[in-house]
Amino acid sequence: MSDTPFFGGGDFLRSMLGDLVRMMPSGTGLQWQLAYQLAAQITAGGGPDPNPDPIERIRFEELSAIAELHVSEVTGMPVAPAGGSVRLVPASRAEWTRRTLDVWRPVLDRLAAALGPTEPGESEGQGKGGGTEFPPAQSGAFTPDLSGSPALPEDDDEMTGLLGKWAAAMFPALTAWQIGSVAGHLAERALGTYDVPLAPVPGEELLVVSGNLAAVAADWSLPIDDLRLWLCVHEMAYHTVLSRQAVADRIAGLVVEHAQLVRPDPDALGQLLQQSDPSDLASFARTLGDPSSSLPGGSDPALTRVRAELDAVTAAVSGFAENVTRTIGSRVIGNTTPIGEAMRRRRVSRGDGERVAETLFGLRLDQSQIDRGARFVAGVLDRSGELQLAKMWGDARNLPTPAEVDAPGLWLARLELPIDG
């Protein structure tokens, strides 16, 4: 190995790894401060982000009351399981981003706890065995400390070991980086709270990004009050089912299981670092911020199963919620075809936030998922009516399997069987 450092070479890579380790905050669990800081920076760079007009808040309050009555009637369930009145509240992109991270946090803390160190005896910033050790940064502010020089490995075998330890030690910080990136980029397009149905919103306020909603209304020449009412119904329909404990627990459990199966591959991370341009820090940050660039390759049967089960749950949820929205929309708005077409086009042209969220959490809610769920709901309604559909939400065992989503008759037949336990 050459003694002359060059970019992409082993010496530079060793030094970069040492610098990165010292830059990362220490401590157990996800580095939430990183997520909030990065999300705020991305949102701030997205152009003007004015606070909503007070008159808009009043209008959403009025429309929320109308929507809640209709959603409760059509679903036969209260919108908020614990009682209380749910309402949509207009917000800036910055506020939506912060509150969305608050909503996701309980699920992602479970994810961090489940991942933990990869080997017994490992702790953050220190691998098991006699490898390289780097001094941890102080927890708290993301302040680089590049003083000192780590003891770097001398050959490629030790370098491979270092990459593995780096991936394990830095996983909480890298994941926080990716989560912050997802939330920040989602805010550029998001309309409501449940653009990514990761976790139910606690409390009674569902945020809507009023600036994005106004842009959609202008782009598609939609009456703004019709679009507001449609969104109130849409978000409350999703909230009605996602806030059921059985559904929330099932989605959270599958997201955690998915994360355990897609831990970053050390070799892929090493390749990313070797191919990065040190003069372009923004490009380097984007590369590490995209989880798909460092995921393990190959086909894992366990990962395929988890993704299929997540797809089945989200298809059932979306199919039900979209059917409720369509039913109520035809009553209170009339012709909702222009709104439906606008939403379809938005799903087809998804942004980076949606795509990275799909990779990171395993949740997919693109147009094909919406269509699949709609077919499942239509099949159930054709065979049995509304009462059978409502049975999905009280017990996780009643949620359809991947095969049943595509064959609703199988799901209905299973519901007729006694459930043990």
pLDDT tens-digit series, residues 357-383:
888 888 887 889 999 999 999 999 999
Instruction: Write out the two tokens for 411.
Output: 């799901």
C-alpha distances in angstroms, 391 versus 79, 167, 312, 322, 394? Answer: 16, 43, 16, 17, 6
- Confidence check: pLDDT of 136 > 80: no
Task: Give residue 268's pLDDT.
Answer: 63
Say how many domains are in the chain: 1
Average pLDDT over residues 200-223: 95
Residue 4 lies in a domain: no
User: What's the rounded Cα separation, in Å, for the pair 7 and 15?
Assistant: 11
Which residues, at least 6 apart from 10, have a Cβ–Cβ distance to it below 8 Å? 1, 156, 159
Rounded to two decimals, the pTM is: 0.81
User: In this structure, is residue 401 part of a structural domain?
Assistant: yes
Q: Is residue 146 part of a domain?
A: no
Q: How far apart are CA 363 and CA 354, in angstroms?
A: 9
Domain assignment present for 238: yes
Kindly report the CA angle at 347 between 345 and 352, in degrees rounded to 5?
A: 120
Residue scoring higher pLDDT (275 or 259): 259
Mean pLDDT, the chain, rounded, equals 79
Structure confidence at residue 133 (pLDDT):
33
Residue 121 lies in domain: 10-137+153-415
Residue 84 domain-assigned?
A: yes
The percentage of the chain sitting over the pLDDT mark of 70, rounded to a whole number, equals 70
* Domain-embedded: residue 75: yes
Determine, yes or no, domain membership for 111: yes
Is the residue at 364 inside a domain?
yes
